[in-house]
């Protein structure tokens, strides 16, 4: 009987002791949480989100360039450890692009990560009572512009498979939007950024926006991006309008513009597209046609320097390194004047204003040590010339594949091995196909 | 009122009992021996139906005061206990105990503070004795020593790198991205088994995105620090029905480790020395190059011609090399010295050991060193209070080399995969290594210059207090408190000097990591054993438990390191990463065990748990358990004849696995640019309502022995379900998140375990003990709330795991060659078997061996793919495929169409361990008591069709997706010579 007497009482005491003991909640010991930013963020917190977005834009950019550059036959990425660069991306063995592989899942996720940061920035700035209305517009304008740019890069990969535009609520994502609607949505996002930035006050610092880091500067960048979207949409007059509000200048430096910048500082990134010349095993080489197709005297041959030894892998060879990103802290352009001049030329060709177009094309040619254009002056010939100049001026900046696709010319890209294919688009990542 | 009267009467009865006994006592002396006359020291001699007893001394002698007409029970581990009636007048009694072949007498820990004989147990609990653990052919690390020894477990070595790294899954996968590894408890202390990355991802880029660490960094498991020599015995509680009482963290099972304790009597001093050699288990071989084959490495005609010439030059100069053999062909010398001293008096006993092992790896400049000290003390303050302390200090150091997946061409296997025999990689006369023109790195240079070291200083201290609060003739109440701490400091030291071929961008990388981890826990309980009559015994226990953990990892990544320096300040660029985690789990438990007629045992228990890692930190989750065992022969229902000890048993229990720290937060990581601090939303979305996953296990079985205990059978069936299993679910990444910890669904494991223990030969000259086990497990995802996506590997093109409702949890899917995605394999073995044998001749010569057969279970083998791709695989030029192409070319042509060739059967049959030992116990020198010499082979013989280095491999470490093979550090085998001297 004694045990009946003892144990329950002791047990009850123990239970009471335990249940009343303090319960620990350690919180997040490592990093801030989204909730903290959404409850009345300070200016410095908002600035952290701005820098986070600018920094995050750089993640997986080399992979994006390799995706577009390999399929667009600008170059090859040889890797002893990663066969899929030269199998899947080149369409080897009549295979397919996989929706679960790194070449689409990684860049896609990284771009949407920045979109998420921009959405948090918009929400946080909207909720903050510690900033003025003009300052708020500065934050939201920047966020919308960056968001539009990131969405555009993903749409470039998936093309007619579309992208998701409305992603503000992770539990209730908007639908997948087809190519034309997505471009329209990106355009209107850039327009709303324009509205926000007009008269806004910029109280944050940017790293790769030298000369454009105030509200008027950001407006110019916004319009430059809008002009790119305009030509993708075939809205030629709009493109010229937007160019006028951008930093476009026929006589300005080709490299005037905004960039991803890289550094060795703590928590910073190095340029992931930089590989020193004449490496082995892990190399990024120019497609042989880059050198064979180039006009003699063109100084852009310097973007594909001769190697001391030919690199070969899996039936592919090249004796030139891609030499666009020449150091680990070299800039990577987001958008720059050389592209704007070519957008100007393209719009003018499409509007049959050939004289203006030739002025622009010859500006590019002269800038690269070439004589003025001497070919036929009609729309098809000038389009060919314009695409050719885009090929060399914007080499390995992620344009060739998209340009050839826009003009329905993917069939003209060279095929190097029997069984290879030229892809027109990536499938949506498997996680989106549900 | 009536109760109080009865209580007082009982108390009076209790108080007067000793006097009644004293009145008619006398002294009984004697000796307890084995069959061959060897004395049994430390055997317990207990007066039946009482709490009184003594233990035998070093010569097996005892002296006990017994009442007039008593029965005395003799017990010792490893022997069948025996009850003897001592008639009036008997003063001396010599007893021979029979060896317990079937293990029925073994005492198994069934609660946090209670135990039971195996013959009365409701669960199938596997045990590994000291002899099985390290007495056959010792493995390098503790985790490696478990391999092949636990029925019901799927144990897989992740890597052959020195310092271990083993995944242990008990009765199937219990979680997907939650904790799949069991809880390890050493003398009551919950020890940490975190694998901490040294930041190799900085260099390998195996995980894209620039993180310093990834799950492909190949770190060791911290459980590897334990020294097998100090372990007396291991019990493996394989599922919730047995482990429920451990509550939090017990869902993946519990490995209960008991270290050696001293015994009263003469002091024993043993010095053991092992010396051995370690070499690679298997090499894949390399492609035999010819001028044509060399030329075919390039599609460019000029390069092709140059390669041809390069080959011819190398051939003429005799400079063709087998680089695989050069890289992995090192013969490592291994030594291990252990000194142990144990002994004690009636009041105090001690066990002390000091040991050091130092072993080189199969790759130069890799190896493992472990130095350990242990002191275990037990002291009886008085008849009622006993305290024990067990302390261990461990210093370990592992140089693990660079292996596994990478995206920079730097790991040894990846570099080798594209390096042909005519490459010239050897250093010049000044020691300068040439760049490898065929790969991003020169593996010989990498081996010579790099460093990847894990250094650990660890203290594990356990305390144990048992106080008898009340004792009467039929009731004993004890207070039992157990607890302790596990503290370690781990230094990871990774250095890649700037003159390495692949350091052209970073110009030298030094990654210095410091991890400090403190775990502490305690259990305080009250236990009452009440024996109202010979036929009934009730054990009641209740108590509280608490576990706390505090982990802090700081990683400094320096690049642009000044030549010949490794300090992180001697560098042009420095980035730091810090990760901290803390948890506190609280629990309350109560358990009742009822034994009727020593034949029916009923157990019931309940546990309440809360954890700071749960979404709701204050909420207590409730986990019940129950068990029943029914011995039909002891009950007399089946007459003892052919069958002895026929027992039916069933047990049910629930346990949990708390979410990983931080699963409830949506965090922002740091992402800076040009000196501006940036916050970037992390890719993992938090779930503020995250719950622990709950495992419910039902097991049932039948045990019996036949032929007078010489043959024992144990059959078990289990069904365990994991409800709300934790998983890092993939989210549509357009949400900005790629993953979220969620309670994703339900999972079921069902399996069978059959065990047989026998002594087929038992003569005076020869005896043979054997055990054979067979086990299998099948899993099924019964509910899955998110859409299935490939995970845990590299996508459908190469073969990938995928959790899907209605399918096996470990299925492997991939492109099937007909344009679709199908199931190509399953990571789960179809079954496994093992057999441990010990044959003794003349009590002197002992042959022991452990066989292990894993049948079925597929791997995703990408090692051979890398070699094909680099044009170096041994069978590259053979033609055995239907297209008539060279195999290498054929296989590459299948990429993107079919993943079948990557999903390969990883069955194997291994002679895990074999050892032969001879003991000298009659020695001319008085100071030396015994000498034992032996030789052993560990993992020497493997029969498998698996074409890569070893079927045991895991590029992703000890998590869910083991069996992915990407250029691992090849597995090794070892041969040892042993001498052990007893003083």
Please give the Cα distance from B874 to B886 (Å, whole number). Answer: 11
Q: Which of A85, A98, A94 is nearest to A316 (CA)?
A: A85
Q: Which of A388-397, B60-69, B585-594, B667-676 has the highest mean pLDDT?
A: A388-397
Q: Which residues of chain A have pLDDT under 70?
A: 1-23, 434
B896 Cα to chain A: minimum distance (Å): 5
Chain A interface, best mutation among B540, B678, B729, B803, by max A CB count within 10 A: B678
Q: What is the pLDDT of residues B454-513, one digit of tens each?
A: 999 999 999 999 998 888 888 889 899 999 999 999 999 999 999 999 998 888 999 999
How big is the CA angle at B356 (ends B354 and B360), to the nearest 5 degrees?
Answer: 170
Q: Does A310 touch chain B (CB under 8 A)?
A: yes
Say which of B11, B662, B896 has its CB closest to residue A2.
B11
- Asked whether B356 and B396 are in contact (CB, 8 A), the reply is no
Mean pLDDT throughout B413-430? 94
Please give the Cα distance from A391 to A409 (Å, whole number). Answer: 13
Q: Which of B664, B573, B684, B648 is nearest to B611 (CA)?
A: B664
Please give the Cα distance from A127 to A140 (Å, whole number). Answer: 12
Q: Which of the four pLDDT bands, split at 50, 70 and 90, describes residue B13?
A: very low
From chain B, pick out residues whose CB is under 8 angstroms from the CB of A56: 671, 678, 680
Question: Is the pLDDT assigned to residue B849 strictly greater than 70?
Answer: yes
A36 Cα to chain B: minimum distance (Å): 10
Q: Does B612 touch chain A (CB under 8 A)?
A: yes
Q: Which residue of A has its CA nearest to B475?
A: A3
Chain A interface, best mutation among B295, B555, B732, by max A CB count within 10 A: B732
Instruction: Retrieve residue B784's tokens.
Output: 């899955």
A107 Cα to chain B: minimum distance (Å): 9
- Asked whether B850 and B912 are in contact (CB, 8 A), the reply is yes
From chain B, pick out residues whose CB is under 8 angstroms from the CB of A307: none
Q: Which of the four pLDDT bands, split at 50, 70 and 90, describes residue B413?
A: very high
The burial class, CB within 10 Å (0-12 / 13-18 / 19+), for A112 is buried
Q: Does A16 touch chain B (CB under 8 A)?
A: no
| Contacts with B, A 376-395, CB within 8 Å | none
Q: What share of chain B is helix, strand, coil (3-state, %, to 5)?
A: 10, 50, 40
Q: Does A327 touch chain B (CB under 8 A)?
A: no
Say which of A24, A96, A170 has its CB closest to residue B736.
A170
**What is the residue extent of each domain of chain B?**
2-99, 126-279+329-417+452-786+827-857+906-982
**Could you give the 3-state DSSP secondary structure of residue B758?**
strand
Q: Which of the four pLDDT bands, split at 50, 70 and 90, describes residue B10?
A: very low
Is pLDDT larger for residue B838 or for residue A17? B838
| Contacts with B, A 27-46, CB within 8 Å | 28-35, 37, 45
> Under an 8 A CB cutoff, do B892 and A314 touch?
yes
Please give the Cα distance from A194 to A218 (Å, whole number). Answer: 9
Q: Which residue of A has its CA nearest to B305?
A: A310
> Under an 8 A CB cutoff, do B581 and A274 touch?
no
For residue A337, what pLDDT is reported?
97
Q: What is the pLDDT of residues B276-325, one digit of tens each?
A: 999 999 999 999 999 999 999 888 888 899 999 999 999 999 999 999 99
What is B126-279+329-417+452-786+827-857+906-982's CATH topology?
Maltoporin; Chain A (2.40.170)
For residue B104, what pLDDT is reported?
63
> Under an 8 A CB cutoff, do B10 and A87 touch?
no
The region, left, alpha or beta by phi > 0 then psi within -120 to 50, assigned to residue B198 is alpha
Q: Read off the pTM.
A: 0.84
HEC sequence for A101-145 = CHHHHHHHHHHHHHHHHHHHHHHHHHHCCCCCHHHHHHHHHHHHH
Please provide the average confidence, as pLDDT, over all residues in chain B. Answer: 87
Q: Does B660 touch chain A (CB under 8 A)?
A: no
> Under an 8 A CB cutoff, do A30 and B662 touch?
yes
Please give the Cα distance from B499 to B427 (Å, whole number). Answer: 13
HEC sequence for B139-207 = CCCHHHHCCCCCCCEEEEECCCCCCCCEEEEECCCCCCCCCCCCEEEECCEEECCCCCCCCCHHHHCCC
Q: Does B870 touch chain A (CB under 8 A)?
A: yes
Buried b (16+ CB within 10 A) or exposed e, B825-859: bbbbbebbbbbbbbbbeebeebbbbbbbbbebbbb
Mean pLDDT throughout B865-894? 89
From chain B, pick out residues whose CB is under 8 angstroms from the CB of A6: 470, 477, 528
Q: Which residue of B has its CA nearest to A25?
A: B612
Dihedral, B291, B296, B301, B307 alpha carbons, nearest 10: -50
B368 beta partners = B359, B398
Please give the Cα distance from B561 to B180 (Å, whole number). Answer: 39
B355 beta partners = B338, B372
Is pLDDT larger for residue B45 or for residue B970? B970
A354 Cα to chain B: minimum distance (Å): 42
Q: Which of the four pLDDT bands, split at 50, 70 and 90, describes residue B688?
A: confident
Question: Is the pLDDT assigned to residue B124 strictly greater than 90?
Answer: no
Is pLDDT larger for residue B81 or for residue A213? A213
Sign of CA dihedral A123, A129, A131, A135: positive
Q: Does A106 touch chain B (CB under 8 A)?
A: yes
Question: Is the pLDDT assigned to residue B601 strictly greater than 80?
Answer: yes
From chain B, pick out residues whose CB is under 8 angstroms from the CB of A142: none
> Under an 8 A CB cutoff, do A55 and B731 touch?
no
> Under an 8 A CB cutoff, do A55 and B672 touch?
yes
Dihedral, B308, B314, B315, B317 alpha carbons, nearest 10: 140
For residue A3, what pLDDT is reported?
42
Q: Which of the four pLDDT bands, split at 50, 70 and 90, describes residue B82?
A: confident
Kindly report the backbone phi and psi dihedral angles of residue B733, in degrees, each rounded to the nearest multiple of 5, phi listed first. -70, -10
How many other CB atoms sit within 10 Å of the CB of residue B89? 7
End-to-end alpha carbon distance in chain A = 64
Q: Does B528 touch chain A (CB under 8 A)?
A: yes
> Under an 8 A CB cutoff, do B895 and A93 touch?
yes
Mean pLDDT throughout B710-718? 92
For residue B705, what pLDDT is reported?
87
Please give the Cα distance from B280 to B950 (Å, whole number). Answer: 10
Q: Which of B419, B497, B367 is nearest to B967 (CA)?
A: B419
Q: What is the pLDDT of residues A366-417, one digit of tens each?
A: 999 999 999 999 999 999 999 999 999 999 999 999 999 999 999 999 999 9
B146 beta partners = none
A263 Cα to chain B: minimum distance (Å): 6
Q: How many CB pairs under 8 A join A and B?
A: 355
Please give the Cα distance from B385 to B400 (Å, whole number). Answer: 47
> Under an 8 A CB cutoff, do B528 and A6 touch?
yes
From chain A, pick out residues whose CB is under 8 angstroms from the CB of B787: 434
How many other CB atoms sit within 10 Å of the CB of residue B432? 9
Q: Which of B57, B71, B68, B58 is nearest to B27 (CA)?
A: B68
Least confident of B86-95, B318-327, B422-431: B86-95
Sign of CA dihedral B721, B723, B726, B730: positive
> Under an 8 A CB cutoff, do A267 and B672 touch?
yes
What architecture (CATH level 2) is domain B2-99?
A: Sandwich (2.60)
Please give the Cα distance from B766 to A79 (Å, whole number). Answer: 61
| Contacts with A, B 111-170, CB within 8 Å | none
Instruction: Read off the DSSP letter of residue B79.
Output: B
Q: Which residue of B has its CA nearest to A310?
A: B303
Q: Does B430 touch chain A (CB under 8 A)?
A: no
Domains of chain A: 37-208+420-429 (1.25.40.390)
From chain B, pick out residues whose CB is under 8 angstroms from the CB of A155: none
Mean pLDDT throughout B700-705? 91
From chain A, pick out residues whose CB is under 8 angstroms from the CB of B665: 28, 33
For residue A434, what pLDDT is reported?
63
Dihedral, B65, B67, B73, B74 alpha carbons, nearest 10: 20
Say which of B572, B610, B685 has its CB closest to residue A23.
B610
ipTM reported for the complex, 2 dp: 0.90
Please give the Cα distance from B735 to B464 (Å, whole number). Answer: 52
Instruction: Read off the DSSP letter of residue B856.
Output: -
Dihedral, B852, B858, B863, B869 alpha carbons, nearest 10: 150
Q: What is the pLDDT of residues B20-60, one digit of tens each?
A: 344 467 788 888 888 777 778 778 887 776 667 777 877 78
From chain B, pick out residues whose CB is under 8 angstroms from the CB of A63: 208
End-to-end alpha carbon distance in chain B = 63
Q: Does B775 touch chain A (CB under 8 A)?
A: no
Instruction: Read off the DSSP letter of residue A95.
Output: -
A374 Cα to chain B: minimum distance (Å): 35
């Amino acid at each position: 009987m004694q045990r009946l007497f003892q144990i329950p009482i002791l047990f009850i005491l123990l239970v009471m002791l335990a249940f009343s003991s303090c319960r620990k909640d350690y919180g997040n010991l490592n990093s801030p949480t989204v909730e903290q930013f959404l409850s009345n963020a300070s200016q410095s917190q908002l600035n952290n989100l701005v820098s986070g977005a600018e920094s995050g834009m750089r993640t997986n950019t080399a992979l994006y360039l390799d995706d577009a550059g390999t399929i667009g036959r600008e170059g090859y990425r040889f890797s002893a450890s990663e066969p899929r660069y030269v199998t899947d991306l080149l369409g080897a063995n009549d295979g397919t692009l996989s929706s679960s592989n790194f070449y689409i899942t990684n860049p896609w996720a990284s771009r949407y990560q920045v979109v998420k940061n921009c959405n948090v920035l918009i929400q946080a700035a909207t909720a903050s009572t510690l900033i003025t209305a003009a300052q708020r517009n500065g934050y939201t304008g920047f966020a919308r512009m960056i968001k539009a740019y990131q969405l555009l890069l993903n749409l470039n990969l998936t093309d007619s498979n579309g992208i998701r535009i409305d992603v503000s609520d992770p539990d209730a994502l908007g639908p997948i939007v087809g190519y034309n609607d997505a471009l329209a949505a990106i355009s209107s996002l850039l327009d709303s950024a324009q509205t926000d930035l007009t008269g806004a006050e910029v109280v944050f610092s940017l790293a790769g926006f030298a000369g454009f880091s105030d509200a008027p500067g950001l407006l110019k960048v916004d319009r430059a991006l809008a002009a790119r979207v305009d030509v993708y949409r075939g809205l030629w007059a709009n493109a010229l309008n937007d160019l006028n509000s951008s930093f476009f200048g026929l006589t300005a430096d080709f490299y005037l513009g905004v960039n991803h910048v890289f550094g060795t500082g703590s928590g910073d990134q190095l340029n992931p597209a930089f590989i020193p010349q004449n490496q082995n095993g892990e190399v990024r080489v120019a497609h042989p046609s880059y050198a064979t197709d180039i006009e003699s005297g063109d100084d852009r041959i310097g973007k594909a320097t001769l190697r001391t030894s030919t690199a070969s892998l899996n039936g592919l060879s090249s004796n030139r390194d891609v030499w666009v990103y020449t150091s680990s802290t070299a800039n990577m352009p987001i958008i720059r004047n050389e592209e704007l001049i070519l957008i100007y030329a393209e719009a003018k060709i499409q509007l049959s204003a050939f004289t203006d177009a030739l002025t622009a094309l010859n500006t590019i040619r002269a800038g690269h040590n070439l004589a003025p254009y001497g070919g036929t002056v009609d729309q098809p010939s000038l389009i060919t010339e314009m695409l050719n100049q885009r090929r060399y001026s914007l080499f390995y900046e992620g344009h060739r594949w998209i340009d050839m696709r826009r003009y329905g010319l993917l069939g003209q890209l060279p095929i190097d091995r029997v069984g290879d294919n030229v892809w027109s688009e990536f499938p949506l990542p498997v996680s989106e196909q549900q | 009122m009536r109760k109080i009267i009865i209580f007082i009467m009982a108390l009076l009865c209790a108080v007067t009992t000793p006097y009644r006994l004293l009145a008619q006592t006398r002294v009984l002396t004697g000796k307890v021996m084995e069959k061959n006359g060897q004395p049994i020291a430390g055997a317990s001699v207990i007066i039946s139906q009482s709490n009184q007893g003594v233990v035998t001394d070093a010569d097996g002698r005892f002296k006990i005061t017994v009442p007039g007409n008593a029965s005395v029970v003799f017990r010792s581990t490893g022997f069948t206990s025996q009850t003897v009636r001592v008639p009036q007048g008997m003063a001396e009694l010599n007893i021979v105990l029979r060896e317990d072949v079937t293990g029925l007498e073994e005492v198994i820990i069934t609660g946090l503070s209670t135990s039971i004989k195996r013959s009365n147990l409701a669960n199938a609990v596997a045990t590994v004795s000291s002899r099985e653990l390290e007495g056959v052919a010792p493995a390098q690390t503790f985790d490696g020593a478990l391999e092949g020894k636990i029925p019901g477990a799927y144990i897989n070595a992740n890597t052959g790198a020195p310092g271990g790294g083993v995944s242990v899954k008990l009765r199937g996968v219990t979680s997907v991205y939650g904790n799949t590894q069991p809880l390890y408890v050493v003398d009551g202390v919950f020890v940490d088994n975190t694998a901490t990355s040294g930041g190799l991802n900085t260099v390998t880029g195996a995980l894209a995105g620039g993180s310093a660490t990834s799950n492909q960094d190949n770190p060791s498991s911290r459980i590897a620090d334990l020294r097998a020599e100090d372990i007396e015995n291991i019990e493996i509680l394989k599922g919730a029905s047995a482990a429920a009482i451990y509550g939090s963290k017990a869902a993946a099972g519990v490995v209960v480790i008991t270290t050696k304790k001293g015994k009263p009597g003469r002091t024993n001093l043993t010095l053991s020395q092992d010396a051995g050699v370690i070499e690679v288990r298997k090499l894949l071989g390399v492609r035999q190059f010819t001028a044509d084959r060399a030329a075919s490495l390039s599609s460019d005609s000029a390069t092709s011609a140059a390669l041809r010439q390069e080959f011819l030059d190398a051939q003429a100069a005799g400079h063709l090399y087998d680089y695989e053999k050069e890289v992995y062909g090192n013969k490592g010398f291994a030594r291990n010295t252990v000194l142990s001293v144990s002994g004690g008096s009636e009041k105090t006993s001690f066990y002390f050991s000091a040991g050091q092992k130092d072993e080189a790896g199969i790759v130069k400049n890799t190896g493992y060193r472990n130095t350990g000290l242990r002191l275990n003390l037990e002291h009886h303050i008085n008849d009622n209070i006993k305290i024990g302390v067990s302390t261990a200090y461990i210093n370990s150091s592992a140089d693990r080399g660079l292996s596994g997946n990478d995206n920079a061409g730097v790991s040894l296997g990846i570099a080798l995969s594209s390096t042909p025999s005519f490459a010239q990689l050897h250093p010049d006369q000044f020691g300068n290594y040439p760049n490898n023109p065929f790969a991003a790195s020169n593996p010989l240079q990498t081996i010579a210059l790099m460093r990847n070291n894990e250094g650990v200083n660890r203290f594990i201290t356990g305390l144990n207090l048992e106080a008898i609060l009340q004792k009467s003739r039929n009731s004993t109440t004890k207070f039992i408190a157990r607890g302790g701490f596990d503290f370690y400091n781990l230094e990871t030291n990774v250095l890649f000097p700037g003159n390495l071929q692949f350091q052209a961008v970073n110009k030298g990388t030094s990654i210095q990591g410091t991890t400090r981890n403190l775990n502490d826990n305690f259990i305080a309980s009250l236990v009452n054993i009440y024996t109202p009559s010979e036929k009934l015994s009730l054990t009641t226990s209740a108590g509280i438990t608490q576990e706390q953990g505090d982990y802090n990892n700081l990683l400094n990544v320096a690049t642009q390191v000044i030549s010949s320096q490794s300090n992180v300040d001697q560098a042009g660029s420095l980035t730091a990463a810090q990760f901290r985690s803390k948890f506190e789990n609280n629990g309350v438990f109560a358990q009742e065990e009822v034994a009727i007629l020593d034949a029916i045992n009923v157990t019931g228990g309940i546990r309440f748990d809360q954890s700071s890692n749960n979404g709701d930190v204050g909420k207590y989750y409730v986990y019940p358990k129950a068990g029943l065992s029914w011995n039909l022969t002891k009950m007399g229902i089946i007459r003892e004849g052919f069958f002895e000890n026929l027992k039916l048993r069933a047990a049910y229990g629930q346990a949990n696995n708390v979410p990983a720290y931080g699963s409830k937060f949506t965090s922002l990581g740091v992402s800076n640019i040009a000196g501006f601090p940036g916050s970037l939303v992390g890719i993992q979305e938090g779930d503020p309502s995250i719950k622990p996953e709950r495992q419910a296990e039902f097991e049932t079985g039948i045990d019996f022995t036949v032929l007078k205990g010489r043959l024992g059978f144990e059959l078990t069936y289990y069904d365990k379900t994991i409800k709300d299993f934790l998983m890092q679910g993939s989210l549509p990444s357009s949400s900005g998140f790629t993953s979220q910890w969620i309670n994703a669904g339900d999972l079921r494991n069902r399996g069978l375990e059959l065990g047989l223990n026998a002594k087929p030969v038992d003569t005076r000259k020869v005896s043979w003990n054997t055990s054979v086990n067979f086990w299998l497990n099948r899993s099924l995802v019964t509910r899955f709330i998110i859409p299935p996506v490939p995970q845990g590997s590299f996508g459908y093109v190469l073969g990938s795991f995928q959790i899907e409702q209605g399918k096996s949890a470990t299925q492997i899917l991939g492109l099937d060659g007909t344009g679709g995605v199908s199931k190509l394999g399953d990571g789960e073995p179809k079954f496994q078997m093992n057999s441990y044998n010990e044959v003794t001749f003349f009590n002197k010569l002992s042959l022991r061996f452990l066989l292990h057969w894993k049948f079925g279970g597929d791997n995703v083998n990408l090692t051979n793919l890398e070699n094909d791709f680099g044009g170096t695989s041994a069978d590259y030029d053979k033609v055995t495929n239907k297209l008539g192409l060279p195999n290498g070319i054929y296989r590459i042509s299948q990429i993107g169409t079919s993943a079948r060739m990557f999903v390969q059967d990883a069955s194997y049959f291994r002679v895990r361990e074999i050892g032969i030992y001879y003991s000298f116990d009659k020695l001319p020198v008085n100071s030396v008591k015994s000498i034992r010499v032996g030789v052993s082979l560990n993992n020497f013989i493997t029969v498998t069709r698996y074409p890569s280095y070893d079927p045991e491999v895991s590029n992703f470490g000890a998590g869910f997706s083991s069996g992915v093979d990407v250029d691992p550090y090849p597995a090794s085998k070892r041969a040892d010579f042993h001498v052990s001297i007893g003083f």
